[in-house]
Amino acid sequence: MSRSPSGLSTAQRDLLHLMDVRVWKRRPPEEPAAHAEPPPLAPPAISGGFSAHAESAERSAPPAAAPSASPPSPPASPLAAAAGPPELEALKSTVAACTACPLHSGRRQTVFGVGNPNAEWMFVGEGPGEEEDRRGEPFVGRAGKLLDNMLRAMELDRATVYIANIVKCRPPGNRNPSPEEAAACIPYLHRQIELIGPRLIVALGAVAAQRLLDTDQPVGALRGALRRSAALDRPVLATYHPAYLLRSPGQKRKAWDDLQLAMREMEALRAGGG
Ligand code: URA
Ligand code: SF4
């Protein structure tokens, strides 16, 4: 992998750029060489970054579908359609037919999850938005682009990790899923986690963090440290939701700190066989 003089990989530098987290540049070579190690990362100077016009795109409500005609079935994305192990496929089929909560009535299709069925890393969001509902794949809208950049900086991608949501059907108007809806759907996620067996789960945003850790504490209080889900018997790292980071770019640095913490934990888990 290519490393820059600062010790950061190209992908990490990309992320810091894309997340608008600035790093110190090394002195140009013509200046006297300093033998002291340069600071690998700048103090967290963060530019304004993503501008306000981007803010509401991810979660803005489109008009409701015409009630008379059923919407044409959009093609599922190739990644979302990829076959997995039989038990995961069977669970996916069960979810596709689920009517256990009111969210089923507004969906175009269920959004089960994508990625490596043996992933070490699992990323969990709250629920599908408009674009996800259309494509059948989680995190494919604007927030998904930022998530892709976050993954890239961790030297991961969509095919090596597994990405899913607390609820599999889109909440109308992109509101948060209610506690009842989350409770109705979460057994599917628990089973997914059991089948995939990730070493570590990254909870993206308050809904995922609260439901996975079974608490009502705000994400700001849950992030910044590894937690453990007793029910899932594995570590959970809570951080900000990418859609929130698009609205509040000043928090990106904290999210990056969280991801670095998760990467260190993953190294420790691998070393310990966890
Ligand atoms: N936000 C989420 O929480 N999940 C998605 O799949 C997309 C946006
Ligand atoms: Fe079923 Fe979950 Fe969809 Fe509710 S959100 S209908 S529980 S799959």
Indicate whether 49 pLDDT > 60. no
Q: Whose CA is nearest to atom 2 of ligand 2?
A: 185
Return the ligand 1 atom nearest residue 138 CA.
6
Q: What is the pLDDT at residue 84?
A: 81
Indicate whether 56 pLDDT > 80. no
Q: What whole-number percentage of the chain has pLDDT above 70?
A: 69
Mean pLDDT of 202-216: 98
Q: Whose CA is nearest to atom 6 of ligand 1?
A: 138
Q: What is the pLDDT at residue 190?
A: 98
Indicate whether 26 pLDDT > 60. no
Please report which ligand is nearest the Cα atom of 164: 1
Q: Are 212 and 134 in contact (CB under 8 A)?
A: no
* Cα(187) to centroid(ligand 2), Å: 10
Indicate whether 38 pLDDT > 50. no
Indicate whether 155 pLDDT > 60. yes
Q: Who has greater pLDDT, 130 or 56?
A: 130
* Cα(195) to centroid(ligand 2), Å: 19
Q: What is the pLDDT at residue 1?
A: 46
Q: Who has greater pLDDT, 6 or 111?
A: 111
* Cα(188) to centroid(ligand 2), Å: 9
Q: What is the pLDDT at residue 166?
A: 98
* Cα(86) to centroid(ligand 1), Å: 25
**Angle formed by the axes of helices 206-213 and 179-196, to 10°?**
70
* Cα(30) to centroid(ligand 1), Å: 48
Ligand 1 lined by 143 (C-beta under 6 Å): yes
User: Within 10 Å of residue 58's Cβ, how many Cβ atoms?
Assistant: 23
Indicate whether 197 pLDDT > 50. yes
User: Within 10 Å of residue 217's Cβ, how many Cβ atoms?
Assistant: 13
Structural domains of the chain ordered from first start? 84-272 (3.40.470.10)
* Cα(114) to centroid(ligand 2), Å: 17
Mean pLDDT of 175-189: 97
Q: Who has greater pLDDT, 165 or 29?
A: 165
Q: Are 94 and 191 in contact (CB under 8 A)?
A: no
What is the DSSP pairing of strand 162-165 with strand 114-115?
Answer: antiparallel
Ligand 2 lined by 104 (C-beta under 6 Å): yes
Mean pLDDT of 68-72: 45
Ligand 1 lined by 128 (C-beta under 6 Å): yes
Q: What is the pLDDT at residue 92?
A: 98
Of 59, 36, 77, 217, residue with least CA distance to 129: 59
Q: What is the pLDDT at residue 59?
A: 36
Q: Who has greater pLDDT, 231 or 70?
A: 231
How far CA 136 is from CA of 81, 111, 128, 227, 267, in Å, comes to 8, 5, 8, 30, 32
Mean pLDDT of 163-190: 97
Q: CA 66 from chain center: how many Å?
A: 31
Indicate whether 28 pLDDT > 60. no
Indicate whether 80 pLDDT > 60. yes
Mean pLDDT of 86-110: 98
Mean pLDDT of 6-17: 58
Please report which ligand is nearest the Cα atom of 109: 2
Q: What is the pLDDT at residue 273?
A: 80
Ligand 2 lined by 169 (C-beta under 6 Å): yes
Q: What whole-number percentage of the chain has pLDDT above 90?
A: 68
Q: What is the pLDDT at residue 79?
A: 62
Indicate whether 240 pLDDT > 80. yes
Indicate whether 94 pLDDT > 50. yes
Q: What is the pLDDT at residue 212?
A: 98
DSSP the chain: --B-TTS-BHHHHHHHHHTTB--PPPPPTTSPPP-SPPPSS-S--B---S-GGGTTTTTPPPPPPPSSSPPP-PPPPHHHH----HHHHHHHHHHHT--SSGGGGG-SS----EE-TT-SEEEEES---HHHHHHTSSS-SHHHHHHHHHHHHTT--TTTSEEEES-SSPPGGGPPPPHHHHHHHHHHHHHHHHHH--SEEEEESHHHHHHHHT----HHHHTTSEEEETTTTEEEEEE--HHHHHH-GGGHHHHHHHHHHHHHHHHHHHHTT-
**CA–CA separation, 33 vs 117, rounded Å?**
49
